[in-house]
Amino acid sequence: MKLNLKIWRQKDAKTPGKFVDYALDHVSPEMSFLEMLDVLNEELVKKGEEPVAFDHDCREGICGSCGVVINGKAHGGQVNTTTCQLYMRHYNDGDTVLIEPFRARAFPVVKDLCVDRQSLDRVVKAGGYISAHVGSAVDGNTIPIGKELAEKAFDAGTCIQCGACVAACKNASAMLFTSAQTQRLNLLPQGKVELSRRVTRMIAAMDEEKFGACTNEAECSAVCPKGISFKNITEMNHNYLKSSLE
């Protein structure tokens, strides 16, 4: 099939960017979205043109680095799907596909579709850990944890730090990401000791990185490729309010 691609091209964060049109023929429905971009880049290189820069690594929906906005939806809008898991069978012959980077003040453009998401790393660094002194690994049953609680912590821990929640939010808020990073520890006995300090530090770091405020529209959860629940934000807000009163 044939596709009309409108791709954001930008040399760096300081240089103005623009959409550039590309016509791509012979796109197989069985191609992944990233394979389609590979084909485009091969054609551009043959013509002596600059290929489109985009991030990727695992191509298995694990690392989260492949995030782009496709037709206005982070990762393309398919439920629980990263860009690398998106297949061209979801598009029709002759479709126009708009491709742009994740847009947020905290995600400066590196080049084309690549953005710098180190701001998320700095939020995790502020409190996404426990400081208990441990020796060798203990038996898994030493600290009994209920199945329901363990599953909630695991679900929060599935965040792959892709930043789709930020890209989907009109305020570029990182509340879903930050709440997932806090809840994966706060729900477990090992993490409860530092719960108050963790929440206050990570929210402060999020604000320092210039992420926006949450207005409870839940677009973040809707586009999250791991289906992380919006309820994590509610629980983090509760913990933050409680810690501010202590």
Same domain membership, residue 211 and residue 155: yes
Residue 225 within a domain: yes
Residue 111 within a domain: no
pLDDT attached to residue 213: 94
Segment-wise mean pLDDT, segments of 10 residues, the chain, 246 residues: 97 95 96 98 97 96 95 96 97 97 96 98 94 71 84 96 97 98 93 94 97 95 96 96 88
Tokens standing for 28?
Answer: 């197989």
Same domain membership, residue 7 and residue 55: yes
pLDDT attached to residue 136: 75
Domain extent at residue 154:
117-133+142-245
State the Cα–Cα distance between residues 228 and 232, nearest whole angstrom: 8
Same domain membership, residue 153 and residue 184: yes
- Specify the 3-state DSSP secondary structure of 201: helix
Same domain membership, residue 53 and residue 158: no
Same domain membership, residue 124 and residue 92: no
Tokens standing for 140?
Answer: 């898994």
Tokens standing for 241?
Answer: 């309010």
State the Cα–Cα distance between residues 126 and 108, nearest whole angstrom: 21
pLDDT attached to residue 145: 86
pLDDT attached to residue 139: 73
Residue 109 within a domain: no
Question: Do 114 and 103 meet the contact criterion of CB atoms below 8 Å apart?
Answer: no
DSSP string, 181-245: HHHHHHTSHHHHTTHHHHHHHHHHHHHHTT-B---S--HHHHH-TT---THHHHHHHHHHHHHHH
Question: Do 101 and 109 meet the contact criterion of CB atoms below 8 Å apart?
Answer: yes
Residue 210 within a domain: yes
pTM summary value: 0.92
Residue 185 belongs to a domain with what CATH number?
1.10.1060.10
Counted domains in the chain: 2
